[in-house]
Amino acid sequence: MGDTLKTAQLALHGGAPVRAELLPYGRHEIDDDDVAAVARVLRSDWLTGGPTVAEFEAAFARAVGAPEAVAVNSGTAALHAAMFAIGVGPGDEVVVPPMTFAASANAIVYQGGTPVFVDVDARTLLVDPAKVAERLTERTKAIVAVDYAGQPCDYDALRRVLAGRPEIKIVADACHALGARDGSRPVGTLADLNAFSLHPVKHVTTGEGGVVTTADPALAARMRMFRNHGITVDHRQRGARSSWIYEIVELGYNYRLTDVQSALGLSQLGKLAARVARRQAIAETYIRAFASIPEVQPLAVRPGATHAYHLFVVRVDTTRLSTDRATLFAALRREGIGVNVHYIPVHFHPFYRRRFGFGPGLCPIAEAAYEQILTLPMFPAMTARDIRDVVDATAKVIEAFRSEPPGGRGHRSEPPGGRGPRSEQ
């Protein structure tokens, strides 16, 4: 971040970019051990519905310290299975923050429930327990607590909010937070049900996949039935009993994870601790570097929480600059830095506006944050040069717009909830 960056012309304005090849915000990592594990299953008798799924479930449960783990074919399926397991249906309300991928709310709607959006804490963008307390009604069935970016919500505070209401379940949307902890307790044990994603940009991948952990064997049994069309026994169980008889007792879905995917997941789980440690080291480097750039503020970490850093999200104080977040996004992309935005508040999406009448003003803290946040690249295979490029490009862009007068070149506004950058998982 020397004098050359202060005087360099932005790539957005025709200058040379910090790097020629775009650095993505996330990237999967597959090694020879992963390939070998998948190849072994490909040569076996079971590609799906076989023993490797149960092996993966047992290994995942051990990894997070949970008694039960149920594997499904996506993080969305994990959330849907959780909503089914606790009996969400028409007339039920489920509290959920809007600063999340839409699946957190979609799973409620799949079951006929109504999402009740509550605002977030301004420093962490985690759901605010005090706001949750204000929105509880006699129809409240559950709370979906989103472990945004990779750190756990304050589940102790949420339990206090629900004191005297044991019928309300807490579902952790832990899709960002595999490997995180709250004090000594690992994510995966903090809520009644804990949903994880195994998407390629997550800490552990099965290509596509998800897992739900719980301490309740009855809920686990319901989710295993749900992932298999609502059938009480699967193909392998029928084979072991020499029986062809099966019954569909509930309306379920084909949400099964395959043995091929489970083999990849088993291999990847062995790398979880090292990957979380690497993400934390990258985050520490970013935090130190941005301490000298007052316009760029990393999100706060809750006291006692161990952050797994699926995402590294910063808030950019555009009041100190001559431009807006949309132009900063474009400028960083042109510098070769694959920034993203996580997320457009769910209640801004056309489906939720049309179906439920939601719109701007419902969750002002989340809405204000959306106008300022950027997600910077974060994945374990990033090199020291990659990290330096992110910091240098950010400094270059901030310096360029810090020095321009208001309304200078490149300035444009972005309507709330309008045509923002594409938001992904």
Is residue 98 within 8 Å of residue 345, measured between CB atoms?
Answer: yes
**Angle between helix 384-402 and 325-334 (nearest 10):** 130
Q: How far is Cα 69 from Cα 221, in angstroms, rounded to an integer? A: 10
Q: How far is Cα 152 from Cα 170, in angstroms, rounded to an integer? A: 13
Active site residue 202: yes
Kindly give, in sequence order, each residue whose CB lies less than 8 Å from that of residue 302, ignoring residues fewer than 6 positions away: 124, 126, 151, 152, 154, 182
Find residue 44's DSSP bridge partners: none
Tell me if residue 214 falls in helix, strand or coil: strand
Q: DSSP letters along 15-54, please? A: ---S-SS-B-S------HHHHHHHHHHHTSS-SBSSHHHH
Q: How far is Cα 229 from Cα 253, in angstroms, rounded to an integer? A: 4
**Catalytic pick from 169, 202, 271, 396?**
202
Surface-to-core class of residue 402, CB atoms within 10 Å of its CB (0-12 exposed, 13-18 middle, 19+ buried): middle
Find residue 71's DSSP bridge partners: 211
Q: How far is Cα 24 from Cα 188, in angstroms, rounded to an integer? A: 28
| Helix then strand then coil, % of the chain, to nearest 5 | 40, 15, 45
Catalytic residues: 202
